[in-house]
Structure 1
Amino acid sequence: MRHALPKAALFALSALAAGTASALAQEPGVIAAPPPVDIFLEVTTGPNGEPVLSEDEFELVTGGYYRFNFVCPDAVDDATGFHFEAEELLANSHLRVVSVNDIEIYMQGMSFRAIECDEQGAARFSFHPMRSGVYDIYVRDHSDPAQEVFGRFVVE
């Protein structure tokens, strides 16, 4: 019994150290603790009015904790905005929080389909990808016919 306390203390310190390390790096298959890793997708307007993505691929790990920021600096009105979808990623993730400006929506067990910016601004959502795979990103403008661009999330 004399060794129970030192072993318990050593175990607690090891667990604390492991928790600190996991916050710094995402590990596949491990549900990460806050804070989320911020990733950004800025959509701007190209020379012919087409949407242009700042990144076209995001590499994520299963169980990692991410906050996806969809940023639309060029949107002015309904005619110049952008529409974002990543339906399969959303269907294979645990959604945590969706926020627009200072409004936060906690998503326990819920889902959403798309984000649209009709004015300059940003929206974001935090999530844990739960299944590995390659998931499409679809962005279009509001023209008729719509101009489209694609990217992808790669979850390992």
Structure 2
Amino acid sequence: MTVRMLCRIAPALCALALSPALAQDQESGRVGSGAPEDFFMEITRGEDGAPVIEPEQFDLALGGYYRFNVVCPEELTSETGYHFEVTELLENSHIRLLSIGETDVEFYMQGLTFRAIQCDESGTARFSFHPMRPGVYPIYVRDQGVPPEEVYGRVVVE
């Protein structure tokens, strides 16, 4: 079931799924194991046409094990899609796995990195990682307009 379908069927569950991740289950300074803790960021278009991200901030524990889910629920094209970057977070994390959509397509990174995720149609991309350095890391999202509209969020690792 996609996040989009979940939001139509059970709005309360959707709100819970899209709420900011809290570092409550992760212990700062200890590299996590087992299944990663999921958190979700949805990219939509505001009334003014600019991209909107929800939530705008995530608070994570140093060394925790997380899966960042980038959700693009709207019907998009290469002209209306979104470009997502968390360059500094990726540079300061151990990347484990990147997966695309609702399929079993997975890229096992084992410390390698990637530069960006681009949504040219509705769907979800996700990557699992261990943040290895504390800090405040920017989230950058832009649309494909000319000139592009931009929005920023952040990931706080303590």
Q: Shift in Å at residue 98 of structure 1?
A: 0.1
- Give the TM-score, by structure 1 length: 0.83
Q: Distance in 2 between matches of 1:83 and 1:110?
A: 20
Q: How does 1:68-79 map to 2 (within 5 A)?
A: 68-79=68-79
Q: Distance in 2 between matches of 1:75 and 1:137?
A: 22
Q: 1:137 aligns with which of 136, 139, 144?
A: 139
Q: Shift in Å at residue 41 of structure 1?
A: 0.4
Q: How many equivalent residue pairs?
A: 133
Q: Shift in Å at residue 106 of structure 1?
A: 0.3
Structure 2: unaligned runs, 5 residues or longer: 1-23
Q: Are 2:50 and 1:50 aligned? A: yes
- Greater Cα shift, 138-147 or 74-83: 74-83
Aligned to 1:154: 156
Q: Shift in Å at residue 109 of structure 1?
A: 2.6
Q: Structure 1 segments of 4 or more deviating over 2 A?
A: none
- Give the TM-score, by structure 2 length: 0.82
Q: Shift in Å at residue 108 of structure 1?
A: 1.2
Residue 125 of structure 1 aligns with an amino acid whose one-letter code is: F
Aligned-residue identity in percent: 57
Q: Distance in 2 between matches of 1:75 and 1:149?
A: 19
Residue 147 of structure 2 aligns with an amino acid whose one-letter code is: P
Q: Distance in 1 between matches of 2:111 and 2:69?
A: 21
Residue 56 of structure 2 aligns with an amino acid whose one-letter code is: D
Residue 76 of structure 2 aligns with an amino acid whose one-letter code is: V
Q: Distance in 1 between matches of 2:75 and 2:85?
A: 17
Q: Shift in Å at residue 75 of structure 1?
A: 4.0
Residue 91 of structure 1 aligns with an amino acid whose one-letter code is: E
Q: Once the two structures are superposed, what CA deviation does each residue of 1:91-117 show, in whole Å capped at 9, x if it has no partner?
A: 000000000022000001311010000
Q: Distance in 1 between matches of 2:88 and 2:75?
A: 26
SS at match of 2:55: coil
Residue 43 of structure 1 aligns with an amino acid whose one-letter code is: I
Contact 1:27–1:64 (CA under 8 A) maintained in structure 2: yes
Contact 1:75–1:82 (CA under 8 A) maintained in structure 2: no
Aligned to 1:39: 39
Pairwise CA RMSD: 1.0
Structure 1: unaligned runs, 5 residues or longer: 1-23
Larger Rg: 1
Q: Distance in 2 between matches of 1:72 and 1:131?
A: 28
Aligned to 1:7: none
Q: Shift in Å at residue 149 of structure 1?
A: 0.2
Q: Shift in Å at residue 28 of structure 1?
A: 0.6
Contact 1:74–1:81 (CA under 8 A) maintained in structure 2: no
Q: Which has the higher helix share?
A: 1
- Greater Cα shift, 88-97 or 45-54: 45-54
